[in-house]
Amino acid sequence: MTADTIEGVQALGAAIEGEVAKVVFGQRDLTRMVTIALLAGGHVLLEGPPGTAKTLLAQAFARAVGLDFGRIQFTPDLMPGDILGSNLFNFQTSSFTLTKGPIFTELLLADEINRTPPKTQAALLEAMQERRVTINGEPHPMSPRFTVLATQNPIEQQGVYPLPEAQLDRFLFKLVVDYPDADEERRIVAEHGGRFKSPVVADFGVGQVADAATIGTAIDTIATVRLADEIVDYIVRLVRATRESADLECGASPRAASLLARAACAAAALDGRDYVIPDDVQRLAGGVLRHRVILSAAAEIEGRGVEQVVAALLDRVDVPR
């Protein structure tokens, strides 16, 4: 499959969604957002209760896009060296040899990332921002397709370490994974309930529809999507409105505006357009902003949530015509 045209990118997105849907039911919108993040060069934080197929989604997505898949189970005793790797002494050669850690992959599942201390969480910062890792003062480049899909459980509050703001800002999207509806849950039970082993995506016929080169071509194609001045102004007004809102103690950064614009270009291409429209921005704004803003004390006392505040800002900011 080629992705050197807008139509090719649209077909690629549909193919990825179709493959993931063979094993993960009722989460096409979630798959679309993860695809947008990959094509926009961003990372994704998935938040949802246990048993909602977050890990399975990551495995199926990695197989569909043809990227090397790695997984790190974050625990309280995990150390930065366990993620990055370290130089070990080789007695046969009487020299130190670099043993690379699991971070050296293309699609990394950081499972339950909030269960490890901030020191270990921070080991991901350089890799997520610059796609390289520095070990003992020596930089080691990573794949340009390196993408982090991190998961966290919002229910448990004991034994967890909330991600600091600097870490949260590295994620393009924070996506909320909810329980499926009754029909989707029935299909899940019918398909998975009779299997007496853990789900393996290959057993469900999930195939590879792309590879790193195809993804790179798609990204180059997305770079040709037109971002009109009116859309740029709209994004800037929206992000600046988060800093001026009385309901928010802290608003979104200029990085959020840049990432929102980049994601909107990817969304437009996946919809078969070579130009961005306000609807692209509005559909993505919640995922881009919800983890970058902090509610004011007054808003919390009134029982207002981040979703309500962001929705109100979208209604308030003038939309270009």
Query: Measuring CA to CA, how many Å separate 242 from each of 187, 233, 258, 307, 309?
Result: 40, 15, 15, 12, 9
Q: Is the pLDDT of residue 156 over 90?
A: no
Count how many residues are written for the chain. 321
Q: From residue 33, give the alpha-carbon distance in Å to each of 28, 172, 293.
A: 9, 10, 20
Position 95 confidence tier, pLDDT thresholds 50, 70, 90: confident
Strand duo 132-135 + 138-141: pairing? antiparallel
Percent of the chain scoring above 90 in pLDDT: 72
pLDDT for 306: 92
Q: Is the pTM of this model over 0.85?
A: yes
pLDDT tens for 281-295 read 999 999 999 999 999
Contact 145, 67 (CB under 8 A): yes
Under DSSP, the state recorded for 128 is H
CATH architecture of 225-314: Orthogonal Bundle (1.10)
Report yes or no: 222 and 36 within 8 Å, Cβ to Cβ: no
Taking only the tens place, the pLDDT of each residue in 251-278 is 999 999 999 999 999 999 999 999 999 9
CATH code for residues 4-180+208-216: 3.40.50.300
Per the CB < 8 A criterion, the answer to whether 260 and 171 are in contact is no
Q: Looking at this protein, which amino acid is placed at residue 205?
A: G
Q: What is the mean pLDDT of residues 140-149?
A: 94
Q: Are 310 and 299 in contact (CB under 8 A)?
A: no
**In the chain, where the domains are located:** 4-180+208-216, 225-314
CA pair distance 318, 69, nearest whole angstrom: 42
Would residue 117 be called left, alpha or beta, if left means φ above 0 and alpha means ψ between -120 and 50 degrees? beta
pLDDT band with cut points at 50, 70 and 90 for residue 89: confident
